[in-house]
Structure 1
Amino acid sequence: MSGSGLAFGIDFGGSGIKGAPVDLEAGEFAEERVRIDTPQPATPDAVATVFKELLGKFADSDGPVGVTVPGVVKHGVVHSAANIDKHWIGEDADKLFTDATGRDVHVVNDADAAGLAEVRYGAAKGRQGLVIVTTLGTGIGSALVYDGVLVPNSELGHLEIDGHDAEKRAASSVKEREDLSWEDWAARLTTYYRKLEDLFSPELFVVGGGVSKKADKFLSLIDIDTEIIAAALENAAGIVGAALYATESND
């Protein structure tokens, strides 16, 4: 299938930069995804060069480009860099990538992109009210989506719980580092999700991140009142959500 006119999604991570044209009717890749190693150091200019190379592998693709960034993004400017190069702080990434690639590029927080994709195409499709999507990984990313509309940059992994940054106690990286059992980790997740319940009273929690593939081992152990389910799109969520965000930003 030709990529012409289709939106393009790029998922910018610490080890790899992945991208593909996206069929937004179906919410899936229109061509096979391509991955390029993230440059080290991953400065904005170095990453922009990789984006140009990546887009060059899809000669027929000319639609808007969405890019996930693991940080707070306001009006295309990156405002935080917890897990990426500090040179990103204050960078107008929309302008940098648009100038570097000659394409219309829009940058979005990585968890927000995944949240958009899950609500539009995935586990929360058709659900109304407030849906909170959390990604459990190195840290905890979050997305608030109300009646299908994204409320960006929620950063709920940084809530303070019992004197700790929540993600420092409950991210999946912590489970691995401290060799926690599924039961012990689920107890920490229960504390975290109860706090989110108290603050937001959502209709639904969706749990993403790589560990969501093992949802059967821990989701049922989380003791909360709100329905909580595993994400459906797995590794495609960031790319699909970024492409969707870019298209709707243009509209």
Structure 2
Amino acid sequence: MQILGLDIGGTGIKAAPVDCSTGKLLADVERRDTPQPATPEAVLEVAQELVEYFAWQGPIGCGFPAVVQRGIVRTASNIDQRWLHCDVAARFSQHFDRQVTVINDADAAGLAEITFGAGREVMGTLLMLTLGTGIGTALFHDHDLLPNLELGQISVRGKPGHEWAAASVREDQNQSWEQWAQGVELFLQTIEVMLWPDLIILGGGVSKDADQFLDRIRIRAKLVPARLTNDAGIIGAALFAAQTSPE
């Protein structure tokens, strides 16, 4: 099954068609900046550009940077507040006049990694983190997803975890890889006390630079970079659409 994967993030919106039987991208990823403010109308306009770029007529899967509960947006940390309580799945489906399936963006990335990536052969408790503008988290036990886990908001030494470990922190504060890795380590150590994961997968754009910081982090769980790097969100969004399709 071929589905267009859309990955909506705080700073960028990306898309590519995906072969859901293999997890392979069928074309190069196309990216646009996330509009500011990221209102529903502005985000839909950019999504429309990407759908038209690929001349896509088939189903669409979308990863969205918020808690998405039965299609309804429940949080808006990295998206405009006007998305709150919006039925994002219905809004996208109506706009494109076809079924659009929506899943939390970190859950999408985790789904891709347990199906085609670093978590494929790992059972037990697996945690996927996407380090970007904020922190997305996805938790699996024996490959079953516990959706909409927002661990980036947990308190670490008096401030939200994403203020220690998001990739944007390193850029905004001009930190070295070593300085930033210390914040990531502190965040992960806090999570370990709560969840005792067997494996933690680090994704997001920084995953391609894993050799710069991964060896500097000391935690109990096995820690690996996302095998699908920053394409995991696109692949997982398409895969979720394929898995929930009525066909």
Shift of the 180–40 alpha-carbon distance from structure 1 to 2, 3 Å rule, reads: closer
Correspondence for 2:153: 158
Aligned length: 246
Which residue pairs with 2:30 in the alignment? 34
Q: Could you tell me the percent identity over the aligned residues?
A: 45
2:221 paired with 1:226: yes
Corresponding position: 1:47 with 2:55: no
Letter in 2 for 1:56: E
Shift of 1:95: 0.5
Match of 1:12 among 8, 13, 24: 8
Q: Deviations over 1:169-205 (max 9, x none)?
A: 2222222333333333222222211121111111100
Q: Which deviates the most, 211-220 or 69-78?
A: 211-220
Which has the higher mean CA deviation after the structures are superposed, 211-220 or 43-52? 43-52
> Are positions 1:202 and 2:201 aligned together?
no
* Distance apart, 1:119 and its partner CA: 1.1
Is the 2:16–2:234 Cα contact (8 Å) retained in structure 1?
yes
Aligned counterpart in structure 1 of residue 235 of structure 2, from 207, 229, 240 = 240
CA distance in 2, matches of 1:218, 1:38: 27
Q: CA 1:156–1:66 in 2, change beyond 3 Å: closer, same or farther?
A: same
State how far apart, in whole Å, the 2-side matches of 1:130 and 1:166 are: 20
Q: Indicate which of 21, 25, 34 corresponds to 1:25.
A: 21
Moved more, 96-105 or 48-57: 48-57
> Which runs of 5 or more residues in structure 1 are unaligned?
none
Q: Point out where structure 2 has 5 or more consecutive residues left out of the alignment.
A: none
Which amino acid in structure 2 is aligned with residue 218 of structure 1? F
Distance (whole Å) between structure 2 residues aligned to residue 72 and residue 211 of structure 1: 23
Q: CA deviation at 1:47?
A: 2.3
Tell me if structure 1 keeps the 8 A contact 2:9–2:78.
no
Cα displacement (A) at 1:81: 1.1
Q: CA contact under 8 A between 1:6 and 1:61: conserved in structure 2?
A: no
Query: What does residue 171 of structure 1 align with?
Result: 166
How far apart, in 2, do the equivalents of 1:211 and 1:60 lie?
29
Q: Tell which deviates more after alignment, 8-17 or 202-211.
A: 8-17
2:103 is matched with 108
In structure 2, what is the Cα distance between the partners aligned to 1:219 and 1:34?
A: 28
What is the Cα-based RMSD across aligned positions, in Å?
1.9
- The 1:188–1:52 alpha-carbon spacing in structure 2 relative to 1, beyond 3 Å, is closer
Which residue in the other structure is 2:144 paired with?
149
Post-superposition offset of 1:15: 4.2
Q: If the length of structure 2 is used for normalisation, what is the TM-score?
A: 0.91
Bigger shift: 83-92 or 49-58? 49-58
SS in 1 for 2:239: helix
Deviations 1:116-156 (A, max 9, x none): 11111111112111110111122111111222222111111
Change over 3 Å in CA distance of 1:40–1:166 after alignment to 2: closer
| Aligned-partner SS, 1:189 | helix
Shift of 1:94: 0.6
* Aligned partner (choices 65, 73, 77) of residue 68 of structure 2: 73
The whole-number CA distance in structure 2 between the counterparts of 1:81 and 1:90 is 10
Bigger mean CA deviation after superposition, 183-192 or 33-42: 33-42
1:218/1:58 Cα in 2 relative to 1: closer, same or farther (>3 Å)?
closer
CA displacement 1:199-238 (0-9 Å, x = unmatched) = 1111100011111222112111111111001111122111
Change in CA separation of 1:128 and 1:89 when aligned onto 2, cut-off 3 Å: same
Give the 3 Å change call, closer, same or farther, for CA 185–35 of structure 1 in structure 2: closer
Shift of 1:40: 4.2
